[in-house]
C-alpha cells in the first residue's frame, strides 16, 4: 500500500535518490506518486497520477535540494487524482507531509482548521496533518515541538514524514503503520520498509508505535510521545543481512517467475538450518501445555496456516485452530491469557494480523510468529519469531514465501514430534531435488495447461487432506493475477453444492494424494466430475496413473511434504495464464503487496 521515503544529505542533491528509493517501493502497489524537496530554504513539490517515471519526467521543472520526502499512493480517502496525491502542503506552503495509514475522525480536525481559515485542496485525511503542523508552528515556533503537538492530536494509523521550510531535517511519526530509519554515512533515510533502502544501507532503526524522530544528514533523534511530552529514546541500530541483489529481476521477465525458481534454493537453505527452529518449537510446545493454539493469518499465509494445523495434528498430535485474521475480532472471544497466537505473515505488516495480535495480547495471550521481513511490526509484537529466510518477495503474488512458510511449519511440527534433524533434513532435500530437476519440465507443462485455461470463465481446484489448502492456494494464485474466476475446494465437499456448476468443458485441476486411502476417494471424485463433462487436469505422483484429460506426474516421496511440490505447478499455471493474457503478474490490479489497512 502507500509507500514513504525520506532522504537527508549533507551536500548532494536528493531527487535522483528519492526516485530510486520510491521505485523500490513500487511493488507495494500504487496509483500516484510525488516528492517534496527543500532547496534554498523553500519547499518544491511535484506529484501526479500514474507511474513514478511520469513524475521523473517532470522533475526537471523543480529545483533539487539536499533534504526531501517522497510517496507512492494507494487511494483510500479520496479518488485517484493529482490533488489527492502526496506530498500535501499547508496553506502557506511551509510544511509538506507524506503519510501511510488512515486517520480516524480527521473531519473533526479538518472542520476546526477550516474555521480558523485553512483552505484545503484535497479530499484526503493526510492534508489535515500539514495544516495542523502549520497551525502549531504559528503557536509554538519550535518545529519539533510543533510537530509533536500536531501528532498528539491524531488518532488512527500513521507513518508520517514531514519537512518544514527553513529546516534541514525530516520529522517522522509512527503509529500502527510501518516506518524504518536507514542509517548512512553523512546521510540518513527513512522508508516504509527496508527494501527501499537496501541499496543505500543495511543499518536500520525500526521505529515503534508512539515514537517520533528527527533525521538530519548526521544525526537521528528519537522520542517517545507520551501525554504530549517527549521522552528521549535510545537509538537501536540493527544490521539486516538481505543482499540488494535480491531486489533485482536478473534475467527473468517478472519477479514472480524469479521467485518461483528460487524455491529449491530456499528449501536447501532451510534444510540446513533446522537447529535454528528448535528454540521456537520448544516454546510452542511449552505454551500449548497451558492453553489453546490459534493460528492467525491472511491470504496465502492463511493457506500455509491450514497446512500448519494439519502438520501439528498429524505429526505432533497437537490441537490448534486457524482463524482468518480479519475475522479474529469476531471469532476469538474464547482466546485468553492461557492461550497462544501463532501469527503467520510474510510482510509482518498486514493490518488484520496485527490487529488480531493486539487484541490477543490485550487479553494476556502469548504471541509467536512466523515471518519473513526482519524488523517488521509483527516481529516487534511477538514473544518469539521464527523467520522463514526467503529473502525479499517483490511479486504481489506470494510464491516462495508460501513454500518457505510450509517448510518451516513442517520443521517445527517434526521437531515437536521428536523426528531427528537428519530425517527432517532428508524430507526437505528430497523436495528440493525434485523441484530442481523438474522445474523446466513443470514450467513447460504448466504453460500448456495455461493455454487450456486462458479463455475459460471458471476454474476449479480440488484437493484432499493436506492438499486441500494447496488447492485453495492454486485458486487464489490464478484469480489474483489472471483475473479468471477460480475456486479451491476439498474434493469431497464438492458434491455438496459446487458440482452443480460442472458442465461440459469446465476445467478442474485435481491434486492427487500419494497416500493410498485418500487417493482412492479422490479417484471417485474425479469420476463424478468427469461423468458430468468436466475437463480434468491431474497433478499426480509418478507412481500412479489416474485417468484424466491432462496430467502432470511428479515425484512425490511423502504426502506430508507434497504441498511444497504440488504448489509449484499451480504457481506456474497462474503465472503463464496471466502472462498469456497480457497481465502483469507482479502488479495485479487493485492489489497491494503489503495490506496495511483493515
Q: Please identify every residue annotated as catalytic.
A: 2, 593
> Per rule CB under 6 A, is residue 376 in the interface with ligand AGP?
no
- 356 versus 554: smaller Cβ distance to ligand AGP: 356
Q: Please state, in angstroms and rounded to a whole number, the distance separating the CA atoms of residues 37 and 383.
A: 40
Q: How far is the CB of 102 from ligand AGP (least distance, A)?
A: 17
Segment near ligand AGP (CB under 6 A); pick from 170-178, 228-236, 390-398, 527-535: 390-398
Helix (H, G, I), strand (E, B) or coil at 324: strand
Q: How far is the CB of 494 from ligand AGP (least distance, A)?
A: 23
Q: How far is the CB of 67 from ligand AGP (least distance, A)?
A: 32
Beta strands 187-191; 550-554: pairing state? unpaired
Closest to 49 (Cα-Cα) out of 80, 88, 86: 80
Is there a contact between 478 and 459 (Cβ–Cβ < 8 Å)?
Answer: yes
Segment near ligand AGP (CB under 6 A); pick from 149-157, 394-402, 554-562, 567-575: 394-402
| C-alpha cell read off for 593 | 503487496
Segment near ligand AGP (CB under 6 A); pick from 71-79, 196-204, 282-290, 339-347: 339-347
Kind and range of the H or E run holding 221 = strand 220-226
Q: How far is the CB of 345 from ligand AGP (least distance, A)?
A: 3
Print the SS3 string covering 41-94: CEEEEEEEECCHHHHHHHHHHCCCCCEEEEEEECCCCCCCCCCCCCCEECCCCC
* The residue to which cell 482463524 is assigned: 323
- Cβ burial of 229 (10 Å; 0-12, 13-18, 19+) is exposed
- 143 versus 374: smaller Cβ distance to ligand AGP: 374
> Per rule CB under 6 A, is residue 386 in the interface with ligand AGP?
no
DSSP string computed for 171-202: EEEEEBS--EEEE-SSEEEEESSGGGTTTT-S
Question: Which one among 396, 424, 445, 512 touches ligand AGP, defined by CB under 6 A?
Answer: 396
Helix (H, G, I), strand (E, B) or coil at 231: strand
Residue 317 CB coordination number (10 Å) = 10
> Per rule CB under 6 A, is residue 595 in the interface with ligand AGP?
yes
Segment near ligand AGP (CB under 6 A); pick from 36-44, 76-84, 393-401, 485-493: 393-401
Residue nearest to ligand AGP (CB): 299
- 581 versus 597: smaller Cβ distance to ligand AGP: 597
Find the binding residues for ligand AGP in span 32-61 (CB under 6 A).
Answer: none
Q: Please state, in angstroms and rounded to a whole number, the distance separating the CA atoms of residues 379 and 204.
A: 15
Q: How far is the CB of 357 from ligand AGP (least distance, A)?
A: 11
Question: Which one among 209, 480, 515, 559 touches ligand AGP, defined by CB under 6 A?
Answer: 480
Instruction: Identify the bridge partners of residue 537 per DSSP, sorted by sequence position.
Output: 509, 550
Segment near ligand AGP (CB under 6 A); pick from 17-25, 332-340, 344-352, 561-569: 344-352
Q: Please state, in angstroms and rounded to a whole number, the distance separating the CA atoms of residues 536 and 123.
A: 50
Question: Which one among 52, 353, 432, 442 touches ligand AGP, defined by CB under 6 A?
Answer: 353
- 154 versus 159: smaller Cβ distance to ligand AGP: 159
Q: How far is the CB of 53 from ligand AGP (least distance, A)?
A: 24
Q: Please state, in angstroms and rounded to a whole number, the distance separating the CA atoms of residues 204 and 388.
A: 20
Helix (H, G, I), strand (E, B) or coil at 301: helix
Find the binding residues for ligand AGP in span 514-573 (CB under 6 A).
Answer: none
> Per rule CB under 6 A, is residue 345 in the interface with ligand AGP?
yes
Helix (H, G, I), strand (E, B) or coil at 391: coil
DSSP string computed for 329-388: HHH-TT--TT-EEEEEESSS--HHHHHHHHHHHHTT-EEEEEESSTT-HHHHH-SEEEE-
- 264 versus 299: smaller Cβ distance to ligand AGP: 299
| C-alpha cell read off for 595 | 495490506
Q: How far is the CB of 481 from ligand AGP (least distance, A)?
A: 8
Q: How far is the CB of 594 from ligand AGP (least distance, A)?
A: 6
235 — phi, psi (to 5°)?
A: -80, 120
> Per rule CB under 6 A, is residue 346 in the interface with ligand AGP?
yes
> Per rule CB under 6 A, is residue 445 in the interface with ligand AGP?
no
> Per rule CB under 6 A, is residue 374 in the interface with ligand AGP?
no
DSSP state of 325: G
Question: Which one among 84, 201, 347, 450 touches ligand AGP, defined by CB under 6 A?
Answer: 347
Residues in contact with ligand AGP, counted by CB under 6 A, come to a total of 15
Q: How far is the CB of 351 from ligand AGP (least distance, A)?
A: 9
- 376 versus 551: smaller Cβ distance to ligand AGP: 376
- 298 versus 466: smaller Cβ distance to ligand AGP: 298
* CA 23 remoteness from chain centre: 17
Find the binding residues for ligand AGP in span 273-332 (CB under 6 A).
Answer: 298-301
Segment near ligand AGP (CB under 6 A); pick from 199-207, 346-354, 531-539, 566-574: 346-354
Peptide bond before residue 87 is cis, with ω within 30 degrees of 0: yes
Is there a contact between 583 and 254 (Cβ–Cβ < 8 Å)?
Answer: no
Is there a contact between 242 and 209 (Cβ–Cβ < 8 Å)?
Answer: no
Is there a contact between 162 and 147 (Cβ–Cβ < 8 Å)?
Answer: yes
Q: How far is the CB of 376 from ligand AGP (least distance, A)?
A: 9
Find the binding residues for ligand AGP in span 74-113 (CB under 6 A).
Answer: none
Question: Which one among 350, 385, 508, 577 touches ligand AGP, defined by CB under 6 A?
Answer: 350
Question: Which one among 170, 342, 390, 398 touches ligand AGP, defined by CB under 6 A?
Answer: 398
Q: Residues interacting with ligand AGP, by CB under 6 A?
A: 298-301, 345-347, 350, 353, 396-398, 480, 594-595
Amino acid at each position: 500500500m502507500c509507500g514513504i521515503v525520506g532522504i537527508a544529505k549533507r551536500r548532494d542533491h536528493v531527487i535522483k535518490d528519492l526516485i530510486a528509493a520510491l521505485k523500490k517501493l513500487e511493488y507495494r502497489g500504487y496509483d500516484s506518486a510525488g516528492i517534496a524537496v527543500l532547496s534554498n530554504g523553500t519547499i518544491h513539490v511535484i506529484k501526479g497520477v500514474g507511474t513514478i517515471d511520469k513524475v521523473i519526467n517532470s522533475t526537471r521543472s523543480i529545483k533539487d535540494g539536499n533534504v526531501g520526502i517522497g510517496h507512492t499512493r494507494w487511494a483510500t480517502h479520496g479518488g485517484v487524482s493529482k490533488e489527492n496525491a502526496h506530498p500535501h502542503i499547508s496553506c502557506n506552503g511551509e510544511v509538506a507531509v507524506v503519510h501511510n495509514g488512515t486517520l480516524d475522525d480527521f473531519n473533526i480536525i479538518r472542520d476546526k482548521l477550516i474555521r480558523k481559515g485553512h483552505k484545503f485542496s484535497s479530499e484526503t485525511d493526510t492534508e489535515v496533518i500539514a495544516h495542523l503542523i502549520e497551525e502549531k508552528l504559528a503557536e509554538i515556533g519550535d518545529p519539533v515541538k510543533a510537530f509533536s503537538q500536531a501528532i498528539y492530536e491524531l488518532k488512527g494509523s500513521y507513518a508520517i514524514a514531514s519537512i518544514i521550510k527553513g529546516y534541514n531535517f525530516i520529522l517522522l511519526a509512527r503509529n500502527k503503520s510501518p516506518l524504518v530509519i536507514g542509517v548512512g554515512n553523512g546521510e540518513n533515510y527513512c522508508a516504509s520498509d527496508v527494501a527501499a533502502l537496501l541499496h543505500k544501507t543495511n543499518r536500520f532503526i525500526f521505529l515503534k508505535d508512539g515514537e517520533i524522530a528527527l533525521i538530519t544528514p548526521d544525526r537521528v533523534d528519537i522520542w517517545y510521545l507520551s501525554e504530549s511530552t517527549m521522552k528521549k529514546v535510545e537509538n537501536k541500530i540493527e544490521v539486516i543481512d538481505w543482499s540488494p541483489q535480491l531486489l533485482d529481476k536478473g534475467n527473468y521477465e517478472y519477479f514472480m517467475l524469479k521467485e518461483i525458481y528460487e524455491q529449491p534454493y530456499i528449501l536447501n537453505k532451510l534444510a540446513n538450518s533446522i537447529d535454528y527452529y528448535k528454540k521456537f518449537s520448544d516454546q510452542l510446545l511449552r505454551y500449548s501445555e497451558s492453553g489453546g493454539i490459534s493460528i492467525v493469518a491472511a491470504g496465502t499465509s492463511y493457506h500455509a496456516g491450514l497446512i500448519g494445523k494439519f502438520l501439528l495434528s498429524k505429526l505432533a498430535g497437537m490441537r490448534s485452530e486457524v482463524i482468518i485474521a480479519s475475522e479474529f475480532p469476531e471469532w476469538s472471544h474464547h482466546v485468553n491469557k492461557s492461550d497462544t497466537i501463532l501469527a503467520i505473515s510474510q510482510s509482518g505488516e498486514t493490518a488484520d494480523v496485527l490487529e488480531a495480535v493486539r487484541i490477543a495480547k490485550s487479553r494476556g495471550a502469548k504471541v509467536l510468529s512466523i515471518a519473513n521481513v526482519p524488523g517488521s511490526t509483527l516481529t516487534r509484537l511477538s514473544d518469539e519469531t521464527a523467520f522463514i529466510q526467503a529473502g525479499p518477495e517483490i511479486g504481489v503474488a506470494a510464491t516462495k514465501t508460501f513454500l518457505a512458510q510450509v517448510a518451516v511449519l513442517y520443521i517445527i511440527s517434526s521437531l515437536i514430534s521428536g523426528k531427528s534433524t537428519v530425517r527432517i533434513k532428508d524430507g526437505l532435500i528430497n523436495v528440493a531435488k525434485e523441484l530442481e530437476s523438474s522445474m523446466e519440465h513443470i514450467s513447460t507443462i504448466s504453460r500448456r495447461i495455461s493455454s487450456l485455461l486462458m479463455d475459460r470463465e471458471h476454474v476449479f481446484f480440488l484437493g484432499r487432506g493436506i492438499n486441500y489448502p494447496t488447492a485453495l492456494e492454486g485458486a487464489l494464485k490464478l484469480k489474483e493475477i489472471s483475473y479468471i474466476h477460480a475456486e479451491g475446494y476439498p474434493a469431497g465437499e464438492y458434491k455438496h453444492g459446487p458440482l452443480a456448476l460442472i458442465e461440459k468443458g469446465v476445467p478442474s485441476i485435481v491434486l492427487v494424494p500419494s497416500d493410498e486411502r485418500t487417493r482412492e476417494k479422490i479417484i471417485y471424485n474425479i469420476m463424478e466430475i468427469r461423468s458430468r463433462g468436466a475437463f480434468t487436469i491431474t497433478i499426480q505422483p509418478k507412481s500412479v496413473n489416474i485417468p484424466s484429460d491432462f496430467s502432470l506426474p511428479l515425484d512425490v516421496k511423502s504426502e506430508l511434504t507434497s504441498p511444497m511440490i504440488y504448489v509449484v505447478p499451480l504457481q506456474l499455471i497462474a503465472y503463464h495464464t496471466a502472462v498469456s493474457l497480457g497481465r502483469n503478474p507482479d502488479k495485479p490490479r487493485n492489489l497491494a503487496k503489503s495490506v496495511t489497512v483493515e
